[in-house]
């Protein structure tokens, strides 16, 4: 089981001090948080993708590549790659490049985001969101699995004889998760391709998440990828911890009340009762997280949101220390003891390469340059015979 954190990258005023970080400070803090996540033994760091204030992660591959250069082990992912409004060609090239730079320590999560205006900003129609997600992802897969692509669809300029470069590392594309909290069509898409399904259920009651994941598992089995309990499932959540549970509640309350993600709504008590948000002691976090298995079954990835709502960097790093020292080691042991042998672990680059029968160099060498059309072989032959 993989444990990690994700960020939405919000720039939010700390309600307890009135201090608002600059974009520069928030971007730099994101790097420190990712490095700390590896230091405390977490498996995954993920960032969202937003193109509007108050968020800073508009260029996730740039951020993840910078983190990759300063880490050695942690998997770098997205908690949303906007498959609807980002050109699939750019996704194919950017994330394959990240794959090479990180030596395969990356995957990504497709999503539609939660900002309606992003569609017209990028020339798309929000009413076609599901269609965009389906068509763009189909093209992305072809770009990663076929050396030369001829393609024509509804939403993008046609491609003739196009090769996406660089080719995926070792001939294996990054693993893809499909994230959704409300659309069974996306669960269906994940199941169809045998990809992972990620339910970021911080907004919804357990009953809703249970139904979505059950549907994905059923369709995963329908498409012949394995039994329903072998489907690849990830969950999102949020925690805030202190040694004493009441101290955690008192400290987190002002942040919750003003949070851009879910503040200004139900009380902290109502929200923690109705959703998986957990504020309390490390033992309460452990018990609540283990309880997720009761309604989603054995799953492969657990990510927590820990750095939003104006929480200062110092507090976030303290939270990560608690998570790494007191919570995750217990969860690893308990989840491992509960998982049946036939249920797979979360895919990694190494496991995908092994399943493909080993890695291979998939570099595509052009038959001629794009100016003269002459091939390198022809030039070499002329040199030999001159």
CATH code assigned at 223: 3.20.20.30
Termini Cα distance of the chain: 62
Q: What is the pLDDT of residue 384?
A: 62
Domain count, the chain: 1
Spatial contact of 140 and 357, defined as CB atoms under 8 Å apart: no
**Structure confidence at residue 365 (pLDDT):** 85
Task: Give the pLDDT score at 373.
Answer: 54
pLDDT at 178: 95
In the Cβ-directed half-sphere of 349, how many Cα atoms lie within 13 Å?
A: 25
Which two tokens mark 309?
A: 């709502």
The per-residue pLDDT for 369 is 59
Per-residue pLDDT of the chain (386 residues; tens, 9 = 90+): 999 999 999 999 999 999 999 999 999 999 999 999 999 999 999 998 888 888 899 999 999 999 999 999 999 999 988 898 899 999 999 999 999 999 999 999 998 876 778 878 878 888 888 899 999 999 999 999 999 999 999 999 999 999 999 999 999 999 999 998 778 999 999 999 999 999 987 777 888 899 999 999 999 999 999 999 999 999 999 999 999 999 999 999 999 998 877 767 889 999 998 888 999 999 999 999 999 999 999 999 999 999 999 999 999 999 999 999 999 999 999 999 999 999 999 999 999 999 999 999 989 887 665 555 555 555 656 666 65
Task: Determine the pLDDT at residue 371.
Answer: 57
Host domain of residue 59: 2-385
At 377 the pLDDT is: 57
Which parts of the chain are beta strand (E)?
2-7, 44-47, 75-78, 81-82, 108-111, 149-151, 159-162, 176-179, 196-200, 233-241, 278-280, 301-305
């Amino acid at each position: 089981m993989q444990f990690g954190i994700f960020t939405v990258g919000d720039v939010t005023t700390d309600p307890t001090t009135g201090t608002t970080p600059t974009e520069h400070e928030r971007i730099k803090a994101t790097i420190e948080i990712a490095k700390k996540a590896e230091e405390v033994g977490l498996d995954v760091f993920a960032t969202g993708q937003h193109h509007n204030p108050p968020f800073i992660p508009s260029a996730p591959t740039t951020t993840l590549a910078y983190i990759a250069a300063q880490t050695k082990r942690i998997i770098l992912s997205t908690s949303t790659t906007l498959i609807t409004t980002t050109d699939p060609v750019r996704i194919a090239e950017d994330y394959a490049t990240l794959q090479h730079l990180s030596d395969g320590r990356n995957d990504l999560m497709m999503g539609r985001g939660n900002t309606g205006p992003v569609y017209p900003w990028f020339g798309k129609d929000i009413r076609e969101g599901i269609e965009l997600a389906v068509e763009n992802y189909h093209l992305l897969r072809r770009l990663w699995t076929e050396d030369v692509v001829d393609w024509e669809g509804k939403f993008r300029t046609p491609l003739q004889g196009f090769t996406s470069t660089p080719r995926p590392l070792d001939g294996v594309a990054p693993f893809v998760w499909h994230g959704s909290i409300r659309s069974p069509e996306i669960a269906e898409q994940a199941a169809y391709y045998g990809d992972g399904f990620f339910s970021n259920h911080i907004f919804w009651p357990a009953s809703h998440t249970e139904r979505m994941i059950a549907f994905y598992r059923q369709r995963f089995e329908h498409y012949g990828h394995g039994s329903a309990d072998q489907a690849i499932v990830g969950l999102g959540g949020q925690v805030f911890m202190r040694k004493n549970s009441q101290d955690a509640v008192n400290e987190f309350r002002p942040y919750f009340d003003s949070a851009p993600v879910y503040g200004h709504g139900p009380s902290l008590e109502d929200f923690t009762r109705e959703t998986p948000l957990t504020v309390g002691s490390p033992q309460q976090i452990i018990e609540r997280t283990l309880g997720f298995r009761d309604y989603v079954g054995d799953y492969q990835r657990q990510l927590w949101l820990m750095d939003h709502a104006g929480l200062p960097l110092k507090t976030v790093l303290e939270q990560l220390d608690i998570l790494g020292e007191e919570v995750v080691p217990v969860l690893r042991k308990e989840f491992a003891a509960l998982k049946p042998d036939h249920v797979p672990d979360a895919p990694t680059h190494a496991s995908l390469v092994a399943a493909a029968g080993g890695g291979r160099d998939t570099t595509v060498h052009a038959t001629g340059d794009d100016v003269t059309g002459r091939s390198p072989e022809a030039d070499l032959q002329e040199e030999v015979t001159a």
